[in-house]
Chain A
């Protein structure tokens, strides 16, 4: 008898395998957060202990330092093909919100959307982990990725609730939300014009609670920032530190987090309520996402 989690797991694995079969230049975005880490755990299941494509991290340099440390540790332990990219210019010219030179939304555009676009296309340098030395080296491979796996969920916010499992992006990385391809009977859009790419979303049907229950069941390692370290605060969603605030919570372990989500104080509070960029205006996130934000 398949349980709710078994079902979600199998559907996601099916999507991952389909992506791996259909896309020659496939990668998975790993934000180090709980969702994309669950995705990584699912990939290891899908491919029987292997992760046969690179993991790409967009480094905004405003991630909480523990996250990068955790990323590299897991990359070494699990022998991941780890790649990162960044918006070096914007960082050098301090075109960021914490530097006081632009709004939160513009900052997201610079450090995430632009960095993502140019890292995926190969226009900007990519850095790849050399497992012999444990250090990152400039990646010789500048081929564009044509399939990009992301851990977004439909329950996060409005525009994500309308996503496809396989969602095309045009040459400029834009999402034509008014005219998405049909997708039914487990048949996805895997044919695409040169220059365009497909975003693949295996976690669309998962809720925040599902993610935590899966983390518990599968012993998925997550960053300790999700737990209260004794100061009565924890992160519910991890972004850049200037724009993500921790929530008040006593939960020190996974069981307590699950309890909190099921019946406790967060049962009725949106997960991204700690994310400032969602609030700036009504359709802020939709606009960001049309331009290629995850």
Chain B
């Protein structure tokens, strides 16, 4: 009989947590042994190893595979083990209980949909019994079963009382962290009470076994009915292999996406439509659902980049902003530093971040709050964080993938958290979203306009060292294009500064960062209109840096943009499409040749 057909549904990831030495690894080892889930000979191999090294046999050694773990009788790092019942496949994640390895516990628990929490009846509820309970709540794991272990060590007549005391006390704690356990089960991992089969030793208990509790966990709904969210993980164009598709790649975090859907990228606010859903070695798809690693092509080639959040027009939009209220847990070896610039990563977005204010620090075990202004390793805190650039995200409780972040210190992930609130701000992104939504459409599509003019609108940005004359190159290029029947226009930034920008133009405008940004924004808006009109537009400005080019790309709706740097600056060679260290008379001709074959 093929018993595995039922396995066509999803596997389930279960984590086992609790205080050090309370018997987590032993529970799993015993479960594997009692259900005949071990590879042949494995148990004997461990028994032989224990004899050879003169150690008492431990079921935990089935999981604690590292030499150091066996030597110290402790789990150091999370182990995955594969297990199946009649009902489904499981990956069981055995987490360490020692406080030193909290980062490893979180690594394991973050992958789980449900948790077993082990408490040693003999020792009682300990610091990490509580801390792990709190972490489960923070990690969003709501399905929890509590195992009261080592009842073999308690005299038979006291067992029920000891068990019930733990149930009462621990339920109260879990309630404070918003977890209602599905079951409490009295067990002995070493003796096998209530693991895979009901035990006669605990006659006063008439609930389910650990094995039954696993099968009773519910699969979490797939999220297809949420608003669509997908982080842009990358944008592919494999031109070298003669593939002209430009594919926005990512994994669907929530909702569904269909061909023809109108989508927006945030925070940039750019809009387009889904032209096709791309795949390889699979039947053509017209829609994709939550969890799928996918990619799509757009009808209008806009500039979208990694770190943007793609959502659907007409659905609940994500939030954007740079000042957010968060709950974080800290794993860094050094305390959280309010002076330091960290990096925050949320989905595929990564940006510099500063801690604006520590609002409160919580001891995750005692649940005591304090006003102190430092967050030490393993503490939990409410903080106000300030991102260097606005990002798009959701608030916690809506979509896990878009509301959770990690904090990176130098090279290491040093903490994690969830966004609970945001101070909305009026940034470029907001302006652009509004502009795009309010944009008055012509009856002519960009595509039709292209066929009238027999050219594609294109922006050529000529920049470079201040001493170098770029205007002359631009004029020559404009002339050459016009002579060849193109519709071209040269716009120097000066033409905008004293006109459109006259309200903010000061003597030293281009050297003050704030004013410079606004000048560039306006240049971008003017260019956007000229490009929408179908022109080939040549723009000159001094010493534009990559961030400023990004701003222009963000504002301008076509992605048909070429950048040219003139003058010696080796760093620029990689940032620009064309790099001419030495100005020469032939640059305009070369550009005309390379860009337009004329």
A-side interface residues toward B, CB under 8 Å?
A: 1-4, 6-7, 9-11, 13-14, 17-18, 20-21, 41, 44-50, 52, 79, 154-155, 157-159, 161-162, 164, 177-178, 180-187, 189, 191-193, 204-205, 207, 218-219, 262-263, 268-270, 273, 282-283, 286
Contact = CB atoms under 8 A, between A and B. Distances in A.
Which are the 9 A-B pairs with shortest beta-carbon distances?
A158-B65, A184-B110, A13-B293, A182-B103, A270-B39, A10-B293, A154-B80, A187-B406, A191-B411
Q: Which of A9, A21, A48, A283 has the most CB of B within 10 A?
A: A48
Given A10-B292, A162-B65, A184-B406, A47 B236 contact: yes
Contacts of A180: 77, 104, 107
B280 interface: yes
Interface size class of B (residues with CB under 8 A): 35 or more
B411 A48 contact: no
Nearest to B406: A187
A205 B38 CA distance: 18
Nearest to B46: A282
29 contacts: A3-B9, A4-B8, A6-B292, A13-B293, A14-B233, A18-B233, A21-B233, A44-B280, A45-B279, A48-B236, A48-B280, A49-B243, A50-B241, A154-B79, A158-B65, A161-B79, A162-B66, A178-B77, A182-B107, A186-B401, A187-B406, A204-B80, A262-B2, A262-B3, A268-B39, A269-B40, A273-B39, A282-B52, A283-B66
A185 B329 CA distance: 13
Contact of A4 (B7, B347, B412): B7
Contacts of B65: 157-159, 161-162, 286
B143 interface: no
A268 B2 contact: no
B67 A282 contact: yes
Contacts of A268: 36, 38-40
B159 to A, nearest CB: 34
A57 B446 CA distance: 49
A50 to B, nearest CB: 5
B280 A20 contact: no
Given A21-B234, A218-B281, A4 B241 contact: no
Nearest to B249: A17
A45 B7 contact: no
Contacts of A41: 281
A268 B33 CA distance: 12
A165 B380 CA distance: 26
B345 interface: yes
Contacts of A21: 233-234, 306, 348
B154 interface: no
Nearest to B247: A48
A18 B251 CA distance: 11
A242 B404 CA distance: 50
A185 B233 contact: no
Interface string B305-342: 01000000000000000000000000100000000000
A81 B72 CA distance: 46
Nearest to A45: B280
A9 B292 CA distance: 9
A14 B401 CA distance: 13
A283 B38 CA distance: 19
B128 to A, nearest CB: 16
Contacts of A17: 233-234, 249, 293
B40 A263 contact: no
A218 to B, nearest CB: 6
